[in-house]
A and B are shown apart, each in its own frame.
Chain A
Amino acid sequence: GAVVSQHPSRVICKSGTSVKIECRSLDFQATTMFWYRQFPKQSLMLMATSNEGSKATYEQGVEKDKFLINHASLTLSTLTVTSAHPEDSSFYICSAYQGSHYEQYFGPGTRLTVT
């Protein structure tokens, strides 16, 4: 099956710094990638939809200037958490949409801890 990777898997940063998370589709081209956030014992919450070559579409309540998304190629999307604060600590998961199979494949997630 299709594989989606995320890097890093785990990151600890200090409050006020920025962190970049990469999401790659390894063996297929993804026209659309999605970014989710998951708090403990809760389900995934969609943050934004990222289309290759265009601006991301953010869900209501998600600050686009804080969570910068870039989808520069059909296999790579990045999420940058700017000026991170402890409340941004969460599990961030990306998924890549393979249109021909209407399937979304999820990455393994990135655990962000802001101290």
Chain B
Amino acid sequence: KNQVEQSPQSLIILEGKNCTLQCNYTVSPFSNLRWYKQDTGRGPVSLTIMTFSENTKSNGRYTATLDADTKQSSLHITASQLSDSASYICVVSTKAAGNKLTFGGGTRVLVKP
């Protein structure tokens, strides 16, 4: 069964600090892995998307890594800002089944001043 597990479920960090979110998946056949940011009451917004051959991708203060061998990904947030408070969702796409996405449960990040 295709699954995406994220940890931690929630996280509180102080403004200016860094943090790392984890994602493990068992989706097969793998197509790509995405990280989305979802603000409360809003739709998800894409941060990064990585294919099998990519092991790191950055978008501003967000850096995602992918280890396709161990089926793990991480999202690192550098110098956190209050606006980083949101849910971060790891999503894996499979080449089969019409490009359906398998969603992780998300990590809720709260940045405090």
Contact = CB atoms under 8 A, between A and B. Distances in A.
Interface of A: 1, 4, 6, 32, 34, 41-44, 46, 49, 57, 91, 93, 95, 97, 102-109, 111
B43 A49 contact: no
B62 interface: no
Place the interface of chain B in its size category: 20 to 34
B43 A93 contact: yes
B43 A109 contact: yes
B98 A43 contact: no
Contacts of A103: 46, 49
Contact of B89 (A43, A91, A95): A43
Given A91-B41, A109-B41, A102 B99 contact: yes
B26 to A, nearest CB: 16
B59 to A, nearest CB: 12
Nearest to B98: A49
B41 A111 contact: yes
Interface stretch (B12-20, B68-76, B101-109): B101-109
A21 B108 CA distance: 28
B80 interface: no
Contacts of B106: 43
Given A43-B105, A46-B100, A49-B98, A106 B45 contact: yes
Interface string B28-46: 0001100010000111111
A102 B43 contact: no
